[in-house]
């Protein structure tokens, strides 16, 4: 597994070694020893999976302290545009984000540290996203930033009329109307 740093400290892309032959391919998607060597010790305690259709946008979500979560995210089927937004008040990159295409073809993963909001939009007809987290979900600690915040100006790479949102995600605050707990 190769670690590729992004412009935001702590936020990294992981590119697996893909072994292919006439039968298909093989990757090692998770190896605690390798990841601890690359990222420092992480204790992932829960695996989550979401299934979504084209145009579904989930996010930008986070868990407030003391239930904050680091995530190791990968797309098992299909293609998604993945977004990670830095919400760490003391960070030089507060309010900045990265976008990354995750797909079942490229098999890349993204490690998102605590203190980030995370979201994605499905670019293929259907997608399955799988991610490991290092803290349990707590409904009272959930929060988020609105997907179309004009100060962020995120290009979701899809016509806005095709976006499918939950009611809850449509009501999230902008970054300017948000007091970061991180």
Spatial separation of the C-alpha atoms in residues 18 and 132, rounded to whole Å? 20
Tally of residues, the chain: 182
94 tagged catalytic = no
Q: Which tokens belong to 76?
A: 């098992």
**Per annotation, catalytic residue among 94, 131, 136, 137:** 131
Quote the CA–CA distance of 92 and 20 in Å, as a whole number. 41
Residue 131 annotated in active site: yes
Catalytic residue (one of 30, 53, 61, 126): 61
Check if the beta carbon of residue 103 is closer than 8 Å to that of residue 37.
no
Specify whether the CB–CB gap between 74 and 131 falls below 8 A. yes
**What tokens were used for 152?**
């962020």
Question: What is the C-alpha separation between 98 and 112, in angstroms, rounded?
Answer: 11
Task: Answer whether the bond into residue 30 is a cis peptide, omega within 30°.
Answer: no
CA 101 from centroid of its chain's CA atoms: 10
Catalytic residues: 61, 131
């Amino acid at each position: 597994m190769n670690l590729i740093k992004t412009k935001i400290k702590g936020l990294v892309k992981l590119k697996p070694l893909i072994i292919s032959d006439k039968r298909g391919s093989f990757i090692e998607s998770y190896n605690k020893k390798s990841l601890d060597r690359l990222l420092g010790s992480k204790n992932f305690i829960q695996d989550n999976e979401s299934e979504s259709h084209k145009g579904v946008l989930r996010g930008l979500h986070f868990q407030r302290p003391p239930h904050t979560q680091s995530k190791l995210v990968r797309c098992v089927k299909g293609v998604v545009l993945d977004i990670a937004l830095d919400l760490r008040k003391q960070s030089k990159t507060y309010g900045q984000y990265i976008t990354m295409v995750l797909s079942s073809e490229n098999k890349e993963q993204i490690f998102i540290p605590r203190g980030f909001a995370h979201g994605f939009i499905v670019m293929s007809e259907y997608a399955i996203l799988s991610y490991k987290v290092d803290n349990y979900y707590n409904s009272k600690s959930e929060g988020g930033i609105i997907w179309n915040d004009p100060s962020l100006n995120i290009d979701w790479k899809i016509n806005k009329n095709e976006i499918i949102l939950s009611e809850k995600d449509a009501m999230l605050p902008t970054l300017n109307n948000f007091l970061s707990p991180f």
